[in-house]
Amino acid sequence: MTTATTPYHPGERTAQARAGVTDRADHAGRSIRSTIPAVAAHFLTERRMLVVGAADPDGRVWATQLSGPAGFLRAPDERTMTIAARPAEADPLAEALARPAQLGTIALDPAGRRRMRLNGRSAPDGRGGLVVRAEEVVSNCPKYIQRRTPLDRPGAGAPRAVAEGTVLSTAQQLAVATSDTFFIATTGPDGRVDASHRGGFPGFLEAVGPNTVRWPEYRGNSMFLTLGNLELDPRAGLLLPDWETGGALLITGEARTDWSEQAGPGVERMVELTVTGVRELTDATPLAWTEPEYSPAIPR
């Protein structure tokens, strides 16, 4: 739980101390707000995709994506975000978000390399969408975002689950190994949820067999919102978008941070997730995206 003197909870403070960046984190923490600035409200209205994270009724944490035309996200006031979409029936978060829930979100603009997180309490709006009461609003730097432009897929159908299990198939392991972007949802104190972004060259996310994935943690903003949550609660969910087809691979499990391993230039630590659930969706979004222009910040 945060206090009047810091926006960070004890897990985040522990992670910052482990990394030796407490002073930098204090400086970065000034950008954490509980309200939505006007510039962020405008940013939301231009987005066509929102990544959301939450816990399902069994307590497993998942990350998934919601899509719509520009304007499907709005901030009618500084403490509220409305989403004119909800997870489809095939999505593992459909049941959870049909009722009030803690929700972590990240709005990404791949073309402009911009992103913002908005976490809070969501509830159905009675019209097939969600209303989110903002509790934490963070604008992040452009690091590690691959530049892409959205394209409509006129023939897109409704989202369908094409595979479900407790481990990764061979084809899913290949999807992991060729991914250049994924999103991660984690939980902190009081069940609050955060959604974050990771990017790298294909291969930075590695499938170590059917039940384990691992990835490097590059130098970031020193807040350690994700790793701080993992200090207190290992539950995590990954979303791997298929930028070409509109499909998505969703993975849930438990993650731990290896603070001792220096795996290469620019890699400060490694995270390993033990897979406990997998859901593969086709037509997860009616969007496709252009080929990536890789971020110049990725370590080589």
Answer yes or no: is 36 within a domain. yes
CA dist 176 → 188, 202, 215, 239, 276 (Å): 26, 9, 10, 10, 15
CA dist 36 → 81, 149, 278 (Å): 9, 25, 34
Answer yes or no: is 294 within a domain. no
- Confirm if 267 and 298 have CB atoms less than 8 A apart: no
Answer yes or no: is 209 within a domain. yes
In this prediction, residue 262 carries a pLDDT of 65
In this prediction, residue 149 carries a pLDDT of 96
Domain span holding position 224: 10-289
Answer yes or no: is 2 within a domain. no
- Listed in sequence order, the residues at least 6 apart from 242 whose beta carbon sits closer than 8 Å to its beta carbon are 175, 248, 249, 284
Task: Report helix, strand and coil shares of the chain as percent, to nearest 5.
Answer: 15, 45, 40
How many domains in the chain? 1
Answer yes or no: is 257 within a domain. yes
- Confirm if 235 and 256 have CB atoms less than 8 A apart: no
CA distance 220 to 202: 19
- Listed in sequence order, the residues at least 6 apart from 153 whose beta carbon sits closer than 8 Å to its beta carbon are 246, 286, 287, 288
Answer yes or no: is 22 within a domain. yes
- Assign residue 109 the CATH number of its domain: 2.30.110.10
Answer yes or no: is 297 within a domain. no
In this prediction, residue 5 carries a pLDDT of 77
Token readout for 174 is 């290949």
In this prediction, residue 3 carries a pLDDT of 53
Answer yes or no: is 109 within a domain. yes
Tell me the mean pLDDT per 10 residues along the chain, length 300. Answer: 75 95 94 95 97 98 97 98 97 98 97 96 97 95 94 92 97 98 95 97 97 94 96 98 97 95 76 98 96 94
- Listed in sequence order, the residues at least 6 apart from 46 whose beta carbon sits closer than 8 Å to its beta carbon are 70, 109
